[in-house]
Structure 1
Amino acid sequence: MKFFLIAGEASGDQLGGALMAGLRDLVPDVEFVGIGGEAMAAQGLESLFPMAELSVMGIWEVLPKYRHLKRRIAETAARVAAENPDALIGIDSPDFCLRVARAARAQRPGLRTIHYVAPSVWAWRPGRALKMAEVVDHVLAILPFEPPLMQAAGMTCDFVGHPIATAQAAGPDEAALFRAGHGIAPDSPVVLCLPGSRHGEVARLLPRFGDALTDLRHHVPDMQVVLPTVAGVSQAVRHLTAAWPERPLIVEDADQKRAAFAAADLALAASGTVSLDLAANRVPMVIGYDMAPLSRLLIGMLLKTDTVTLVNLVSETRAVPEFLGRDCQPAPMAQALRRLLGDAQARQAQLDAMDLTMDRLGKGGEAPGLRAARSVLRAVTGPR
């Protein structure tokens, strides 16, 4: 069997690597072609071009790269048609993957198409599911409330579990070693600052997050701010935090980041899947997010839900406070952080919502990569 896979971001690359491993367990002689990053390369994929070219988010951010992305769509679709795989599997990055699927199907009308991670039709652009159904046969959903939405649009869909539910979190010993290694007292609050992993996010959010944390420090002078980051934006992070009254502890190493999450008492984070990482570590959080003005305006007009935080959505609560768009301001975020440190009831409400979220995402069940692989094979060949 042969599968053509496309991932456009680091999170999609991780999903793709786990899916490839699951498929190889079930079909040892399987072949892979496509676009991905390090995790997919570890499973034998030679990416057609660097995945980083596709890591663009937001309408304003895409515009300067539109012509290049359009060319890559055409090149990728032609390669899909030439390879004639058993299925094309797009992994997240719907703006790119679905355009490739449409163009590839125009060249090979019988091409079977699968998409891993349902687009957020529950949040905005609900008509997108119907448009997606024109070029996608089957969806692998990572949120439990998504299959009915995809099925209503005419696609088959399986909930395959979220990878965070089976990820191994650091334990108390690693948390204690992290504190000791960085000279943080056992009783000093550790506050995570998580401004995102894209340059645009970091540039917009980090100054506001810094002001909110400076405000919080007036009330909690012994707190330690820890800022986990990634190589692609670490230089920008260091530059933007250089003038902070108290510089944060910046960590890039993967093991150090895991330990930091285990040691944390509180977090101020960008909206996104990081809320699930915090939930897995039972770290109470405040969410803040803003976009470029044009993107903010358009998405604000289209938003269909009163929350975008996944913990709130999966647990069907509103336990996590969020400050979006123009509401993403230092003073109210600092006030929400103070409440979580001082209000035991608010803190417990978040912990309960996090535990429920993890259970609903598949904690204790079969690995999502293997579940996704079984779903792919059912869609292509029937039950296994």
Structure 2
Amino acid sequence: MRVFVVAGEPSGDRLGGALMEGLRSLVPDVQFDGVGGPLMQAQGLESRFPMAELSVMGLVEVLPKFFHLKRRIAETAQAVLDTQPDVLITIDSPDFSLRVAKIVKAQSDIRTVHYVAPSVWAWRPGRADKMAKVIDHVLALLPFEPPYMERAGMECDFVGHPVASEPVATEDDVREFRAAYGLGDAPILLALPGSRGGEIERLAPVFGEALKLYLQDRPDVRVVVPAVAHMVETVAQRVQSWPGNPVVVDPRNMPSDEAVARKRAAFAAAELALAASGTVSLELAAQATPMVIAYNLNWLTTLIAKRMVDLDTVTLVNLVSETRTVPECLLDDCQPENIATALKQVSDAPDVQREAMVTTMDRLGRGGEAPGLRAAKAVLSRMNA
């Protein structure tokens, strides 16, 4: 069996690595080709070009790289057509992935699977109908997504979210983490300004000012900033002026499994987290870390988003648990004063979020079969149907 798989950012690499591991356990002679990061490469993928080239978010942010991305889309699609795999699996990054699938479908009958249902329940509801023209099968991370995809004419399986199957850091893990970074018994505040260059540039100054306000009366708190490998230097530069004597967790010289475990221990060690919007809210929930979510976009993207998004929350913990326990400071509200106030509210009553976190993990499949294996079984079962 030959599988061409494409991921465009770290969260997709994580999904792809687990899916590939699941496929290999079921089909030992499976062969992989495509684009991915270190976790996918650990499963035997030789990436055709660095995955980091595709880690761009926001309409305006894409423009300077438009022609390069367009070339990569054409190059990737041609590679699929040349190699004629049994299935093309694209993972998240829909603006790139679905353009590749469109070219492939126009010139072949290669089966197409997309892993991570686009958030059509939040914005751009017509995207599912357009997606159905080029995608045969969708693997959904969230339990409420299949009806949206099936209504548009695609096969869809809820396969669970990988974060729900990850281990919870132990007390020993936390102690080792604290010792490794000389944190002693200091209270830890986790700061996560994103994994993409554009969002780090936008959010780091706002996070820094918010932390100055919040930490005025908390001089003993240490700030810990986990970073993805290709953004370590950028993050280190942007947090130099932050309070809390920031510690940047650098995964570059660690094996991938050690880096994941180190990040998990950092999450578990923290009493509170300030994070950009995204999957990270689920990672924090998995470690029972209370959080505040803050996010902003380029001004033009913000203007467009306001017209298209029809939700009162974008945080996955809130959506999956059907609560609104995680405070958000989004778009125009992403201001230091608002964020500092929200941090204080959560710090004063951290247990308010606990039940919602437990509910979220249960609904995402905690205690069940590993999502990567479920996703692999779903791919194979639909191919053989």
TM-score under structure 1 length normalisation: 0.95
Deviation track 1:105-132 (CA, whole Å, cap 9, x = no partner) reads 1111x22111001011111101101110
Match of 1:285 in 2: 291
Deviation, 1:243, is 2.4
Separation in 2, partners of 1:63, 1:56: 10
2:151 is the counterpart of 1:148: no
2:76 is the counterpart of 1:73: no
CA shift in 2, pair 1:50/1:238, >3 Å: closer
SS in 1 for 2:324: coil
Deviation, 1:204, is 0.9
Separation in 1, partners of 2:15, 2:129: 24
Separation in 2, partners of 1:83, 1:316: 44
Deviation, 1:180, is 4.3
SS in 1 for 2:5: strand
Match of 1:326 in 2: 332
Between the two proteins, the alignment pairs up a number of residues equal to 377
Match of 1:12 in 2: 12
SS in 2 for 1:299: helix
**Is the contact made by 2:165 and 2:370 (CA closer than 8 Å) also made in structure 1?**
yes
Separation in 2, partners of 1:161, 1:54: 25
SS in 2 for 1:291: coil
Separation in 1, partners of 2:141, 2:87: 20
Separation in 2, partners of 1:352, 1:243: 36
**Is the contact made by 1:196 and 1:202 (CA closer than 8 Å) also made in structure 2?**
yes
Match of 1:381 in 2: 384
2:264 is the counterpart of 1:258: yes
Separation in 1, partners of 2:209, 2:94: 34
CA shift in 2, pair 1:179/1:21, >3 Å: closer
SS in 1 for 2:72: helix
Identity %: 60
Deviation, 1:373, is 0.6
Match of 1:169 in 2: 168
Structure 1: segments with no counterpart, 5+ residues: none
**Is the contact made by 1:102 and 1:135 (CA closer than 8 Å) also made in structure 2?**
yes
User: What is the Cα-based RMSD across aligned positions, in Å?
Assistant: 1.4
**Is the contact made by 2:221 and 2:244 (CA closer than 8 Å) also made in structure 1?**
no
Separation in 1, partners of 2:232, 2:84: 40
Separation in 1, partners of 2:231, 2:71: 26
2:262 is the counterpart of 1:270: no
Deviation, 1:39, is 1.7
TM-score under structure 2 length normalisation: 0.94
Deviation track 1:234-292 (CA, whole Å, cap 9, x = no partner) reads 22222222223443122123243222111110011100111011100101100000011
Structure 2: segments with no counterpart, 5+ residues: 252-258
Separation in 1, partners of 2:134, 2:228: 34
Separation in 2, partners of 1:184, 1:251: 12
2:246 is the counterpart of 1:248: yes
2:88 is the counterpart of 1:88: yes
Deviation, 1:189, is 2.4
SS in 2 for 1:88: strand
Deviation, 1:35, is 1.3
Amino acid aligned to 2:38: E
SS in 2 for 1:222: coil
2:321 is the counterpart of 1:315: yes
Separation in 2, partners of 1:180, 1:8: 34
Match of 2:254 in 1: none
Match of 1:116 in 2: 115
